[in-house]
Amino acid sequence: MDICRTTRVEELPGVGKVRAAALARLGLETAEDLLRYFPRSYEDRRKLCTIDEAPVGSPVCVRAMVAESPRRTYIRKGLELTKVKVVDGHSSLELTFFNQSYVKNALVPGESYIFYGAVEGLPPRRQMNNPVFEREDHPRFTGRILPVYPLTSGVSNSLLAGLTLRCAEQCAQDMPELLPAEVRQAHRLAAAGYAYQHIHFPADEEALNLARRRLIFEELFLLSCGLALLRERRSTGVGPVIPQMDLDAFRASLPFSLTGAQEKAIGEAAADMASGKPMNRLVQGDVGSGKTMVAAACALLAGRAGWQTALMAPTELLAEQHFRTLSGVLTPLGLRVGLLTGGQKAAEKRAVKAALASGELDLVVGTHALLSTGVDFAKLGLVITDEQHRFGVGQRAALAEKAGGDGVFLPHVLVMSATPIPRTLALIIYGDLDVSIIDQLPPGRQPVETFLVGEDKRQRMYGFVRRQVSEGRQVYLVCPAVEEAEEGMPSAHLKAATTYAQHLQTEIFPDLRVGLVHGKMKPKDKERVMAAFAGGELDVLVSTTVIEVGVDVPNASLIIVENAERFGLSQLHQLRGRVGRGKHQSYCVLVTSNRSQETRERLKTLTRTTDGFRIAEEDLKLRGPGDFFGQRQHGLPQLHIADLAGDTRVLKEAQEAAGELLEQDPDLEQPEHRPLRQQIERLFAQQADRFN
């Protein structure tokens, strides 16, 4: 039969209703879907050997005749063996199949087959376990590099490979060419037809590499184009024009000089704010890299131009901390800085709100409550958020309203985040944000000394806590869970924060002041404990990861993380960033009773480096981007062949090529770019609203 791209799978030979339903579960409904379903790996079935020639341990094809009826034996419940001897004229080979009872009838004595598998043992006792086989008289897969696909029940690899073989032969050439000819030429990329054929049935390694590279490039190119189009949409808004001004007085007022990376981030933000379009920029920098000063410089520029700034922190404690820092820097430079938190007295709050509404304040620091109704700004021009918060579409609208606009006028937005994301990735993940990366720490920082210890060192570790406290320092002690038992975890091994804190206070450190803070406490209570720790009223703070976010207690010099194996590397790095913020040499102790070599190696990464980006890259390699960024929270289209972590070189090329193309044809309106545009819209279908 003739197969074209739109042929439905149930029309293909050998596919009935049942198989079609199983294929549909993999999202495979047409020939085109099959061609876009990429192999997970390959089997090289090109090498055909005699039994004597077959090398030990590496899979090859062997042609042989079945010499006897297969013998079936039950070893125990759930384990059944089928054994059969095959011969090729010189030698014999013993085949063993585990739990594959169909073999008994499939292999007919006296018939010849080609068996693919690894030969073990030496003559005359050569054997092969679980080979796959096909009849010698019309082999389909022998002599080829065979694709191995991700499967589901009811869909075997040979079924899928048989189907893709037909499709590759008959309609790979009809697959649409989405890459413009000049892009293919400039980057030496194979044509679509070639790629779709050889990704399934490569003629050789070189053909496979060409096909893979082309398809990875295409996927990343579509992603880059889509994200660039989203960015473009956004920039149709109008933002306050905040002229670039000389920041020398600001620089001179600081007790340190700004790092090159801070200067660069400030320069990028300043250029955005002067552009007339609303800024939407992420400043991403490792813990302690000095992001607050970037915020300060932006607020200063806005204030000088007569625009108000709102800075939002995730907690009241952090808001107070920022208020102290920022008013310290900006008040002497003539900015009027205020604080607005839920904890303030009603009269204080009223006064701050009135000052905001009348324009008597240039900068207000608070929590996200700043965006609630009842807080009015005279002239809001810049919104800064610290840590973890990103604005959704709805909140952008709220912001626009606060700025008194009509939906077209938007305030500038600056988002600060300490989650280090490998640079190439940040551009993708934060698709519609511009990104400034602060990849440099202020000079003279003493790296936090990090140790990995087992249970046997526990008493010594407590001794170390005591020593730090006796020197006037404070200690964080982090546990992964609040309650004794957590779903699916062996509770006995968990140091539950609540019981652990009690144990420490009564048994280990009766003479020290031990506090507890965990995620299930009321925000008010949490803040009270945190404030007590910040104020030096507690020596040891036992906590779950609630302290992860930007808390700055420079006197804390030791952080201990229990069950460290349960945390991601990046998360541990964030936790570690809670110490080493003052002038004292600081330490991080990771405790694990896990003996697995792999776990220990992973944790050791932290003892070797304090570079958040390197740690993030390591995390990404080990856990994959899905885990790294949580439940695909970024809303990006799913990638089928490219790997954001592994294909960074191609990613960079694809991003550049996308940029060049969009420069000539910003909306991809030219007729030759229409298929590309359509495919992008399909990919970003979940974000359709943002394309309109």
Pairing relation of β-strands 41-44 and 412-417? unpaired
Query: Does 612 participate in binding Mg ion (rule CB under 5 A)?
Result: no
Q: Pick what 259 binds: ligand ADP, Mg ion, none; C-beta below 5 to 8 Å, kind-dependent.
A: ligand ADP
**3-state SS, residue 157:** helix
310's enclosing H/E stretch is: strand 308-312
Q: In this complex, which beta carbon is closest to ligand ADP, that of residue 553 or of residue 636? A: 553
Q: Nearest distance from residue 257's CB to ligand ADP, in Å?
A: 6
Q: Nearest distance from residue 648's CB to ligand ADP, in Å?
A: 25
Q: In this complex, which beta carbon is closest to ligand ADP, that of residue 292 or of residue 341? A: 292
Q: Nearest distance from residue 366's CB to ligand ADP, in Å?
A: 17
Query: Does 293 participate in binding ligand ADP (rule CB under 6 A)?
Result: yes
Interface with ligand ADP: number of residues (CB under 6 A): 16
Name 146's Cβ contacts closer than 8 Å, sequence gap at least 6. Answer: 42, 43, 44, 45, 161, 201
Alpha helices (H) along 71-156: 103-106
Q: In this complex, which beta carbon is closest to ligand ADP, that of residue 400 or of residue 534? A: 534
Options 162, 267, 314, 442; binder of ligand ADP; rule CB under 6 A? 442
Options 237, 285, 580, 612; binder of ligand ADP; rule CB under 6 A? 285
**3-state SS, residue 83:** strand
Which tokens belong to 164? Answer: 């893709």
E strands along 169-299, which residues?
Answer: 280-285
HSE (side-chain half, CA atoms, 13 Å) at 481: 17
CB 132 within 8 A of CB 79: no
Q: Nearest distance from residue 321's CB to ligand ADP, in Å?
A: 8
Tell me the β-bridge partners of 133.
Answer: 115
Query: Does 515 participate in binding ligand ADP (rule CB under 6 A)?
Result: no
CB 245 within 8 A of CB 304: yes
Question: How many residues are given for the chain?
Answer: 692
Which tokens belong to 331? Answer: 């008040």
Query: Does 292 participate in binding ligand ADP (rule CB under 6 A)?
Result: yes
Q: In this complex, which beta carbon is closest to Mg ion, that of residue 338 or of residue 550? A: 550
Q: Nearest distance from residue 296's CB to ligand ADP, in Å?
A: 9
Specify the stretch interacting with ligand ADP by CB under 6 A; choose among 258-266, 390-398, 656-664, 677-685: 258-266
Options 63, 144, 213, 291; binder of ligand ADP; rule CB under 6 A? 291
**3-state SS, residue 552:** coil
Specify the stretch interacting with ligand ADP by CB under 6 A; choose among 7-15, 18-26, 291-299, 672-680: 291-299
Check the CA dihedral 20-26-32-37 and report its sign.
Answer: negative
Tell me the β-bridge partners of 450.
Answer: 588
Q: In this complex, which beta carbon is closest to Mg ion, that of residue 381 or of residue 550? A: 550
Query: Does 285 participate in binding Mg ion (rule CB under 5 A)?
Result: no
Options 39, 202, 226, 290; binder of ligand ADP; rule CB under 6 A? 290
Q: In this complex, which beta carbon is closest to ligand ADP, that of residue 339 or of residue 438? A: 438
Q: Pick what 82 binds: Mg ion, ligand ADP, none; C-beta below 5 to 8 Å, kind-dependent.
A: none
Query: Does 288 participate in binding Mg ion (rule CB under 5 A)?
Result: no
HSE (side-chain half, CA atoms, 13 Å) at 89: 7
Smallest CA-to-CA distance from 18 within 221, 166, 159, 158 is with 159
385's enclosing H/E stretch is: strand 380-386
Q: Nearest distance from residue 572's CB to Mg ion, in Å?
A: 18
Minimal CB distance to ligand ADP: which residue?
Answer: 290
The mark string for 155-184 relative to ligand ADP (x by CB under 6 A, - otherwise) is ------------------------------
Q: Pick what 381 binds: Mg ion, ligand ADP, none; C-beta below 5 to 8 Å, kind-dependent.
A: none
Q: Pick what 405 binds: Mg ion, ligand ADP, none; C-beta below 5 to 8 Å, kind-dependent.
A: none
CA distance 572 to 568: 6
Smallest CA-to-CA distance from 435 within 422, 454, 451, 449 is with 422
Buried (b) or exposed (e) across 18-57, using 16+ Cβ within 10 A? ebbebbeebebebbbbbbbbbbeebbbbebbeebeebeee
Q: Nearest distance from residue 607's CB to ligand ADP, in Å?
A: 21
Smallest CA-to-CA distance from 641 within 223, 194, 176 is with 223
The vertex-108 CA angle with 12 and 76, nearest 5°, equals 95
Query: Does 418 participate in binding ligand ADP (rule CB under 6 A)?
Result: yes
**3-state SS, residue 44:** strand
Options 202, 278, 288, 420; binder of ligand ADP; rule CB under 6 A? 288
Specify the stretch interacting with ligand ADP by CB under 6 A; choose among 40-48, 80-88, 100-108, 289-297: 289-297
Interface with Mg ion: number of residues (CB under 5 A): 1
Q: In this complex, which beta carbon is closest to ligand ADP, that of residue 294 or of residue 541? A: 294
Q: In this complex, which beta carbon is closest to ligand ADP, that of residue 289 or of residue 605? A: 289
Q: Which amino acid, residue 124?
A: P
Query: Does 366 participate in binding Mg ion (rule CB under 5 A)?
Result: no
Q: Pick what 239 binds: Mg ion, ligand ADP, none; C-beta below 5 to 8 Å, kind-dependent.
A: none
Q: In this complex, which beta carbon is closest to ligand ADP, that of residue 54 or of residue 326? A: 326
Which tokens belong to 154? Answer: 């009811």
Neighbours of 309 (CB within 10 A): 30
Q: How far is CA 543 from CA 66, 172, 449, in A?
A: 67, 58, 21
Q: Nearest distance from residue 388's CB to ligand ADP, in Å?
A: 12
Q: Nearest distance from residue 295's CB to ligand ADP, in Å?
A: 8
Specify the stretch interacting with ligand ADP by CB under 6 A; choose among 283-291, 593-601, 603-611, 616-624: 283-291
Q: Pick what 280 binds: Mg ion, ligand ADP, none; C-beta below 5 to 8 Å, kind-dependent.
A: none
Measured between alpha carbons, how far apart are the two ends of the chain, in Å? 42
Q: Nearest distance from residue 613's CB to ligand ADP, in Å?
A: 14
Residues 543-582 that bind Mg ion (CB under 5 A): 550
CA distance 589 to 454: 10
Smallest CA-to-CA distance from 415 within 384, 382, 438, 380 is with 384
Options 4, 143, 204, 256; binder of ligand ADP; rule CB under 6 A? 256
The mark string for 548-587 relative to ligand ADP (x by CB under 6 A, - otherwise) is --x-x-----------------------------------
* Three-class DSSP labels, 405-466: CCCCECCEEEEEECCCCCHHHHHHHCCCCEEEEECCCCCCCCCCEEEEECHHHHHHHHHHHH
Q: Pick what 314 binds: ligand ADP, Mg ion, none; C-beta below 5 to 8 Å, kind-dependent.
A: none
Residues of the shown chain interacting with Mg ion in the complex, contacts defined by CB under 5 A:
550
Residues of the shown chain interacting with ligand ADP in the complex, contacts defined by CB under 6 A:
256, 258-259, 262, 285, 287-293, 418, 442, 550, 552
